[in-house]
Chains A and B, each alone.
Chain A
Amino acid sequence: EIVLTQSPATLSLSPGERATLSCRASQSVSSYLAWYQQKPGQAPRLLIYDASNRATGIPARFSGSGSGTDFTLTISSLEPEDFAVYYCQQRSNWPRLYTFGQGTKLEIK
């Protein structure tokens, strides 16, 4: 089973700053790497799929990059509504399984 490790666990930044969130896989993953945002009491929201493609309706300040075992979610200039928990997720092909990282909490400094 592929394990995803996210860092940092908590990131404290101010609105307007740039956020860089990391997701590292225990072995090379396919391009099936996604990022989600979750706010308290809500379901997760898909931000990025295929490591670097923004989902429908996601603002351009969100971008994803990476391949192999190292992936990054970047938020270019934080808006107040961006403070939330972020998860990466991968889908392996054989066996067909999905795993999530443990999450990064992005909090207001």
Chain B
Amino acid sequence: QVQLQQWGAGLLKPSETLSLTCAVYGGSFSDYYWSWIRQPPGKGLEWIGEINHSGSTNDNPSLKSRVTIAVDTSKNQFSLKLSSVTAADTAVYFCARGGVLSHYYGMDVWGQGTTVTVSS
């Protein structure tokens, strides 16, 4: 049974850097891509970016290079940093398991979500 557990600071001031970590328990870490997704209050889902075990990343161009996703294979963890946050970055942030390296079977395992609020 694969489980994702995520954590990070929940209250930030404008211009600060959001930092979240997601730990993977069970299953294979190296066979998958690992994603970050966010959901502003009352709105839909937005994909932020993904990483695999070798550190290869893809991210959403709409976030204008504010995103840094990193991996720590020794701990089966991956992390998200989002710089220069504004109120528009207020959202619930989820980590999720994406497809295997050779195929996309959907995001089948999700973290519990972390509420991040940006306010002065």
Contacts and interface: CB of A to CB of B under 8 A. Distances in A.
Contacts of B112: 43
Nearest to A99: B47
Nearest to B113: A43
A27 B98 CA distance: 23
Interface string B66-105: 0000000000000000000000000000101011000011
Contacts of B107: 34, 36, 44, 46, 89
Interface in A19-52: 32, 34, 36, 38, 43-46, 48-50
A98 B47 contact: yes
Interface residues of B, number: 22
B43 to A, nearest CB: 8
A96 interface: yes
A32 B104 contact: yes
B106 A55 contact: yes
B31 interface: no
B94 A43 contact: yes
Contacts of A46: 106-108
Interface string A44-76: 111011100001100000000000000000000
Given A38-B45, A44-B107, 16 more contacts: A43-B94, A43-B113, A45-B110, A46-B107, A46-B108, A50-B105, A87-B45, A89-B47, A97-B47, A98-B35, A98-B50, A100-B44, A100-B45, A100-B47, A101-B44, A103-B45
Interface of A: 1, 32, 34, 36, 38, 43-46, 48-50, 55-56, 87, 89, 91, 95-103
Interface of B: 35, 44-47, 50, 58, 60-61, 94, 96, 98-99, 104-108, 110-113
Query: Which 8 residue pairs of A and B lie closest in terms of their CB atoms, listed nearest first?
Result: A49-B106, A43-B110, A34-B106, A98-B47, A32-B104, A100-B45, A46-B106, A96-B58
